Chains A and B, each alone.
Chain A
Amino acid sequence: MRLGFLVLTAVVAAGAIGFAQATRSAGRSTITGSWEAYPIRGEGFGSGIQPKTPVTPPKPIPEPPLRQPHLDQWRALQAHDAELTRKGLPPASSGMACAPQGMPGVMQATFPMEILETPGQVTIIQEAFNQVRRIFLDVPPVAPEDADPRFFGHSTGRWENGTLVVNTVGVKEVARVRNAPHSAAMRITERLRLLNPEILENQITVEDPEYLTAPWKWTWMYKRWPGYRIEEYVCEDNRYFEDPELRYQRLKVN
């Protein structure tokens, strides 16, 4: 009985030390905790509370530098979809079918997200669609030819002077940002760093020699939301379907 108590105490102490190492690694501040998109969004999307020290919000995502004929095809598709949406006939989407956003779309923080730092791993949980991605630290990167296609791909990372640099390959072709196509050779690099204690910046670079003429770069930002508990989001009651004739997002009314 006493031995059991000692073992339990040792296990708890070891766990606490491991956690402390994870949260104060190399003297930097931890990014563990809940985050919401910055700039602050409207009702229901986050805390509604501005940071103590606001920063300049990131610019909108630029047009993807697609190779021709992909660029013309992409522009035509964007215009076509916008016109249908204006008419009230938005084209069916993977989101409508409750598919996850995948990489890198999950990192726009549609709903709040939780970042967990544990030894050797950073885990990111996005509330929308219960999405989870795992970043394995200080291990060799996965070669694209060894990466089976997944919504969140295969992510490896390392801390460099307070910046978490993450490399992701092996993203499914259906996981798209701004509906931009990509190949199995797509590589995403993220550089995550704290701009101040409340604001986390994520500089994203997408490279894809098959589809892009140059790296596609943009920045997303997040604001800390201390104490927020990520909610459950299971698509158990999806009433949307693709209209078989007009092929638009349609609500099952009866």
Chain B
Amino acid sequence: MRPFPDRVLRLLLAVAATGLVLSAPVGAHHSFAPYESTLQVKMVGTVTAFKWANPHVYFEIDVPDGTSGATKHWLIECASTSILNRAGWKFNMLKPGDRVTVIVSPLRNGESAALLKQLTLADGKKYGNGAVAGPATIE
């Protein structure tokens, strides 16, 4: 099974080579340990869903794979609504069809879901995902 396109894999390996290890405190709801916190991936995609709810906010994106021409669907996990409100988000700031850039840590088990580190909207505004998810360490 090959969970990521080649260009993403190359980026993963580049980030892994830095040896960066993030240790996040445990949040209110669950551990983020199923995500590969030492790896960060940048993807550009189109939003297909945005669910503003607790315990965590989620959005989904379609990401074109440059080599095969296929599209891969990703579920992106965010923090709680209150954390995001305090981090400057708004409940209606994403809608299907929006083009976004995300920096994420994928699940370790290869499923196509990832923990958000940074969201960049089409207008260039950047948003973090709270202290437990941690900051983006790549650009």
Q: Footprint of B on A, CB under 8 Å? A: 41-46, 85-86, 88-90, 93, 95-96, 98, 101, 110-111, 127-129, 231-240, 248-251, 253-254
- B56 contact set on A, CB distance < 8 A: 237, 239
A90 touches B112 (CB 8 A): no
- Interface size class on chain B is 35 or more
A249 touches B86 (CB 8 A): no
- Specify the chain A residue showing the minimal Cβ separation from B87: A44
Q: Footprint of A on B, CB under 8 Å? A: 27-31, 33-36, 51, 53-56, 58, 75, 77, 79-87, 107-109, 111-113, 128-132, 135
- A45 contact set on B, CB distance < 8 A: 83, 86, 130-131
* Contact of A85 with B58 at beta-carbon distance under 8 Å, contacts A45-B130, A231-B81, A251-B107 already known: no
Alpha-carbon gap, A9 to B86, bound state (A): 39
- Specify the chain B residue showing the minimal Cβ separation from A88: B108
Instruction: Pick the contact of A42: B80, B113, B131 (CB < 8 A).
Output: B131
* A-B residue pair count with CB separations less than 8 angstroms: 111
* Contact of A88 with B79 at beta-carbon distance under 8 Å, contacts A95-B29, A98-B55, A251-B113 already known: no
Alpha-carbon gap, A49 to B107, bound state (A): 33
* Contact of A88 with B83 at beta-carbon distance under 8 Å, contacts A45-B130, A98-B55 already known: no
A90 touches B30 (CB 8 A): yes
A239 touches B34 (CB 8 A): no
Alpha-carbon gap, A166 to B16, bound state (A): 50
- B79 contact set on A, CB distance < 8 A: 44
Instruction: Pick the contact of B29: A232, A240, A250 (CB < 8 A).
Output: A240
Known: A90-B34, A96-B31, A240-B55. 7 other contacts (CB 8 A): A45-B130, A88-B109, A89-B34, A95-B29, A110-B27, A231-B85, A235-B55
Chain B min CB distance to A44 (Å): 3
B82 touches A233 (CB 8 A): yes
Alpha-carbon gap, A128 to B33, bound state (A): 20
- Specify the chain B residue showing the minimal Cβ separation from A98: B55
Choose among A43, A46, A236, A237 the residue with the greatest number of B CB atoms under 10 Å from its CB. Answer: A43
Alpha-carbon gap, A101 to B28, bound state (A): 9
- Specify the chain B residue showing the minimal Cβ separation from A101: B28
- A248 contact set on B, CB distance < 8 A: 34
Q: Which 8 A-B pairs have the closest CB atoms?
A: A42-B131, A44-B130, A44-B83, A90-B31, A237-B53, A231-B82, A128-B28, A88-B108
Choose among B29, B87, B129 the residue with the greatest number of A CB atoms under 10 Å from its CB. Answer: B29
- A42 contact set on B, CB distance < 8 A: 130-132
- B111 contact set on A, CB distance < 8 A: 251, 253
* Contact of A46 with B86 at beta-carbon distance under 8 Å, contacts A88-B108, A251-B113 already known: yes
* Contact of A89 with B54 at beta-carbon distance under 8 Å, contacts A42-B131, A43-B87, A45-B83 already known: no
- Specify the chain B residue showing the minimal Cβ separation from A111: B82
- A86 contact set on B, CB distance < 8 A: 33
Chain A min CB distance to B22 (Å): 12
- Specify the chain B residue showing the minimal Cβ separation from A251: B113
Chain A min CB distance to B85 (Å): 7
